Amino acid sequence: MAFSLLSAYENSAGSITVQNPATGAAVMTIREYSAGDVEAIVKKAQASLPAWSKRTGKDRAAVLKRWNDLILENQEELAQIITAECGKPLAEARGEVAYGASFVEWFAEEGKRAYGDVIPTHNPASRIVVMKQPIGVVAAITPWNFPVAMITRKVAPALAAGCPMIVKPAEATPLSALAIEELARRAGIPDDVFRIVTTSSPREVGEVLTTHPLIKKISFTGSTAVGKILMRQSADTVKKVSMELGGNAPFIVFDDADLDAAVEGALISKYRNAGQTCVCANRFYIQDGIYDAFITRFAERVASLRVGDGSENGTDVGPLINAAAVEKVNALVKSAVTDGARTVLGGTPDARGGNFYAPTLLADITPDMDIARAEIFGPVATVFRFTSEDDVVAQANDTPYGLAAYFYARDLGRVWRVAEALEYGMVGINEGILSTEVAPFGGIKESGVGREGSRYGIDEYMEMKYCLFGGLGN
Ligand code: SIN
């Protein structure tokens, strides 16, 4: 299928051929940026900084709002591009485009409110003013699981703050990124202020971005292992970093929960994007009194999910991103079953073959199993039984990760106690999805540094400068 948003990027002599994970078919071939190309792009971004940062917040907001409108006007084609290269069902891809645009609209507004401060002085002859200024050129490295929204969530606050940004999208999903860049051009965002660099050599390009002295900040979404490497590489030039890394989200259901709501929350939290989000529920802890009832009802709902090509009507669960992902998920499932897990549903690659994995439900999981510690990143729910609140909170926190956690309960005292005790950056209480542009998204522990979205998100791209105005007399 030819995409009109990508016509300027078609390059049959290029060296990156993007594949559809549902069919294995080639979607499109595009050019490759070398480390040397990226070096030149960094210099141009730096040259664009004075003019872009001097524009008023209102002026940048007008450009960003045009970008937001164009993204929404092109929602259908963008969704088709997402589905073609990332595999998620079209309905989810449409949702992602709207989610992605919401960050552009939000930060267009926030850019106008990047207020500083006047601090009551310590000396009558002086005044203290705090101003916020754009940090400088920013680089982002973005993942394949949300190939539009994870870009706009970083680019919009950077641009709103007055910073140029260079984005290296995931090797598997560069087309959505290019389509977003095309719309940015149409909206009037200057070429050097926002550049996508597509490459199949992520290490080399990543090294330029993380070590270049002109780049002042790195924003990354991806695995904890890669995040640690990027943090180390960024250390020599002391860059500010935002890291949105892996998770191992607990999803706890207490005896007093609304069971129907918990089952629906579990379904969406686990099987969205075929389980390939950092905030997907990864470990289900169900209290004794409702353990069997929860599994029966959850299994009924999981069994109703339709596996298929994301472009087919009625598909709930698309393919995994590639064969390696299927192998990894399958190995975790096999090892759990060998260690005593009970297969309630699935447990194998899907009968369709290729990159499809059957929606799977495993019960009677114990903390010593490999699957209890790994970020599964696939359509596999693992269920643990628990008895006491203290015990389940300890188990939920027993991980180096701290991104998202969920729990269902109705007792008000318990709700507060558990919300406060969970060591996570985000907690969904009686909700299975917590992503929105208005709230701060991010993790603690080895799940990351910094927050995206919300009124806090723009601060990641600004420096605070304290000015002491002295000699003013009394
Ligand atoms: C992610 O998986 O990294 C992001 C998920 C979201 O924003 O909901």
Residue 121 lies in a domain: yes
- Give domain status of residue 41, yes or no: yes
pLDDT of residue 474: 73
229-284 pLDDT, tens digit per residue, is 999 999 999 999 999 999 999 999 999 999 999 999 999 999 999 999 999 999 99
Same domain? For 187 and 329 the reply is: no
Q: 331: CA distance to ligand 1 center in Å?
A: 24
Mean pLDDT, residues 331-357: 98
Query: Which pTM was predicted?
Result: 0.97
> Which pLDDT does position 146 carry in this prediction?
98
CA–centroid distance, residue 112 to ligand 1 (Å):
26
Q: From ligand 1's centre to the CA of 127, what distance in Å?
A: 43
Q: What is the pLDDT of residue 13?
A: 76
Residue 14 has pLDDT above 90, yes or no: no
Q: Which atom of ligand 1 is nearest to the CA of 278?
A: 2
Give yes or no: residues 173 and 278 share one domain. Answer: no
Q: Does ligand 1 come within 6 angstroms of the Cβ of 278?
A: yes
Ligand 1, residue 277: give the atom nearest the CA.
2
- Ligand 1, atom 8, lies closest to the CA of 435
Check pocket membership of 279 for ligand 1, CB cut-off 6 A. Answer: yes
Say whether both 306 and 234 belong to one domain. Answer: no
Identify the domain containing residue 369 by its residue range.
249-436
Quick one: 264 and 322 in the same domain? yes
Query: 219 and 88 share a domain?
Result: yes
Protein residue with its CA nearest to atom 5 in ligand 1 = 277
CA of 146 from ligand 1 middle (Å) equals: 7
Question: Which of 86, 435, 447 is the pocket-test mutation for ligand 1 (most atoms within 8 Å of CB)?
Answer: 435
Which pLDDT band, with edges at 50, 70 and 90, does 346 fall under?
A: very high
Q: Strand 360-363 and strand 281-287: pairing? A: unpaired
CATH number for the domain that contains residue 65: 3.40.605.10
**Does 15 have pLDDT greater than 90?**
no
Mean pLDDT of the chain: 97
Catalytic annotation, pick one of 96, 110, 181, 278? 278
Pick the catalytic residue from 96, 110, 181, 244.
244
Which residues are 281's β-sheet partners? 249
Residues 180 and 217 in one domain: yes
- Based on the structure, what is the number of domains in the chain? 2
Q: What is the pLDDT confidence band of residue 387, given thresholds at 50, 70 and 90?
A: very high
Residue 23 lies inside a defined structural domain of this protein: yes
- Ligand 1 centroid from CA 170, angstroms: 15
Question: Is 306 in the same domain as 270?
Answer: yes
Same structural domain, 40 and 140: yes
Answer yes or no: do 27 and 64 share one domain: yes
Q: Give a yes or no: residue 441 inside a domain.
A: no
Q: 254, exposed or middle or buried, with CB in 10 Å at 0-12, 13-18, 19+? A: buried
Percentage, residues of the chain above pLDDT 70: 100
Read off the pLDDT of residues 70-124 as tens digits, 9 standing for 90 and up.
999 999 999 999 999 999 999 999 999 999 999 999 999 999 999 999 999 999 9
- Residue 442 lies inside a defined structural domain of this protein: no
244 is catalytic: yes
Q: Are residues 297 and 237 in the same domain?
A: no
Rg (CA), the chain: 23
The pLDDT of residue 30: 96
Mean pLDDT of 61-77: 98
Query: 269 CB less than 6 Å from ligand 1?
Result: no
Q: How many CB atoms lie within 10 A of CB 43?
A: 13
Q: Is 158 in the pocket of ligand 1 (CB under 6 A)?
A: no
What pLDDT score does 11 carry?
86
Q: Which residue, by CA, sits nearest to atom 6 of ligand 1? A: 435
Q: In terms of domains, do 191 and 284 share one? A: no
What are the start-end ranges of the E strands in 209-313?
215-221, 240-244, 249-253, 281-287
State residue 256's pLDDT score. 97
Please name the residues in contact with 360: beta carbons below 8 A apart, sequence gap of 6 or more. 333, 343, 345, 346, 347, 378, 379, 380, 381
Residue nearest to atom 7 of ligand 1 (CA): 435
102 lines ligand 1 (CB under 6 A): no
CA 365 / ligand 1 centre spacing (Å): 26
Q: How high is the pLDDT of residue 354?
A: 97
Q: Is the pLDDT of residue 1 over 80?
A: no
CA pair distance 349, 358, nearest whole angstrom:
5
Contact between 9 and 178 under an 8 Å Cβ cutoff? The reply is yes
Position in ligand 1 atom list of the atom nearest CA 99: 7
What is the C-alpha separation between 174 and 142, in angstroms, rounded? 10
Q: Which one-letter DSSP state was computed for residue 307?
A: B
Q: Does residue 232 sit in the same domain as residue 181?
A: yes
Q: How far is the CA of 280 from the centre of ligand 1 (A)?
A: 8
